[in-house]
Amino acid sequence: MDPISARGRRARFLGTAAGAALCALGAAPALAQAPTDDSGGAAQWGLGIGVGYERRPYRDFDDKARALPLLMFENRYVSLLGTRADIKLPSYGPLHFSVRARYALDGYDAGDSPFLFGMQERKDSLWLGGTVSWRAAFGTLSGEVLGDASGHSEGTQFRVQLERRLQRGAFAFTPRVAAHWMDDKYVDYYYGVRASEARLGRPVHRGESTTNLELGLRVDYTLAPRQSLFLDVSATRLGSGIEDSPLVDRSNVTGVRLGYLYRF
């Protein structure tokens, strides 16, 4: 066995494990309802455990469910939710702004699927940018613009989302709809095929910008004043820029997450 390859695989495993742990540490909105800052700026903590499963669009990809701890923290200045960290900026009327950092587990290794054999590793990335949200009677409309701070894809992505929380006794239902645009650099890095990677049945492919459409529903159930259970389901329609990649064999992906959270 090539010692350099072995070291690379070990580094990839450790990086993926660390990233997966971060991902399970309360990645909102999918894992838990983010606390609203209605406590006069007092810090709010939350701990729990969650299980998540998401299908990746790649052919024959080894999708696995993960059970990992959850962590959240929020005060008037910052909001930390797993792979997402926000620095809150001054609001302007009903508009709320923040600077955001997000670690995204978009990468893969050739060992993740037999069809990816011969592909070079695509790395996970740290994304930096800003957000704006508008809370109105019909729901919360939010936008997010992020750039790849890791320099792996050098891409840019934009997400706009509308969600509304409906309280029914101990239950809360939060349906959402979102559009997620990714530029050609992002799509080409994660879904393109370079000349050196081309094989029979896997031709050279250059990715193009695209937009995914997502529908989701989060259900929270209050066990006690500080304890809650949650379930989140989502379905995403992939844009043609991803669906047309020879690495992809589906047009839709789904995700399910459930767990328990205790707020201090």
Predicted confidence (pLDDT) per residue in 191-250, tens digit: 999 999 999 999 999 999 999 999 999 999 999 999 999 999 999 999 999 999 999 999
* Residue-wise pLDDT tens digits, 174-187: 999 999 999 999 99
Distance, CA of 150 to CA of 234 (rounded, Å): 28
Residue 35: partners with Cβ closer than 8 Å, 6 or more residues away: 44, 46, 72, 74, 263
For residue 71, what pLDDT is reported? Answer: 84
Kindly give the residue spans of alpha helices, DSSP state H, lying in 123-214: 184-191
The per-residue pLDDT for 204 is 97
Q: What is the pLDDT of residues 70-101, one digit of tens each?
A: 888 999 999 988 789 999 999 999 999 999 99
Residue 87 and residue 174: Cα distance in Å, rounded?
A: 24
pLDDT above 50 for 5: no
Residue 3 has what pLDDT? 41
pLDDT tens column, 7-65:
444 444 444 434 444 444 334 444 434 444 444 568 899 999 989 998 999 999 988 88
Report residue 105's pLDDT band, with 50, 70 and 90 as the boundaries: confident
| Ranges of each domain in the chain | 3-263
Q: Give the model confidence (pLDDT) of 124-175 as tens digits.
A: 999 999 999 999 999 999 999 999 999 999 999 999 999 999 999 999 999 9
Which pLDDT belongs to residue 40? 54
Confidence (pLDDT) at 34: 43
Cα–Cα distance measured from residue 84 to residue 30, given in angstroms and rounded to the nearest whole number: 12
Name the class of domain 3-263.
mainly beta
**Dist CA 5 CA 18 (whole Å):** 20
Task: Say if pTM beats, i.e. exceeds, 0.85.
Answer: no
Q: What is the DSSP letter of 170?
A: T
Task: Identify the burial level of 151 via C-beta atoms within 10 angstroms of its C-beta, where 0-12 means exposed, 13-18 middle and 19 or more buried.
Answer: exposed
What percentage of the chain's residues is helix, strand, coil (to nearest 5)?
15, 50, 35
φ/ψ bin of 39: left (φ > 0), alpha (ψ from -120 to 50), beta (otherwise): alpha
Residue 20 neighbours by CB under 8 Å, 6+ apart: 66, 68, 105
